[in-house]
Amino acid sequence: MSEKTVSIDIKKDLFGANEEAASKNAEVFKKHGIVAIDIMGSVGTGKTQLIEALCERLSEKYPILMIAGDLATRIDADRVGSHGVDTVQINTGTACHLDARMIRVAIDDTDISKYKVVFIENVGNLICPAGYSLGVGKKVVVVSVTEGPYMIRKHPLTIKRSDMVVINKIDLAEVLDFDVDALERDIREVDANLPVFKVSSKIGTGLDKLIEYLGL
Partner 1 sequence: MHEFSAALSIVETAVQAAKENNVSKVKAVNVEVGEFTFLVPEQLEFNFEIASRNSVVEGAKLQITKKKGALKCDDCGFEGESQVDTDIPSQIAVFSPMKCPKCKGSSTEIIGGKEFIITNILAEVTPA
156 binds partner 1 (CB under 8 A): yes
9 lies in the site for partner 1, by CB under 8 A: yes
**Residue ranges in 50-109 that form contacts with partner 1 under rule CB under 8 A:** 95-97
Among 189, 204, 208, 213, binds partner 1 (CB under 8 A): 189
Shortest separation between residue 135's beta carbon and partner 1, angstroms = 16
The H or E element containing residue 119 is strand 117-121
Of 31, 61, 114, 154, which lies in the binding site for partner 1, with binding defined by CB under 8 A?
154
Of the chain, the end-to-end C-alpha distance in Å amounts to: 69
Listed ranges 66-74, 105-113, 182-190, 204-212: which one lies at the site for partner 1 (CB under 8 A):
182-190
Residues that bind partner 1 (CB under 8 A): 1-15, 17, 95-97, 127-128, 130-131, 153-154, 156-158, 160-161, 188-193
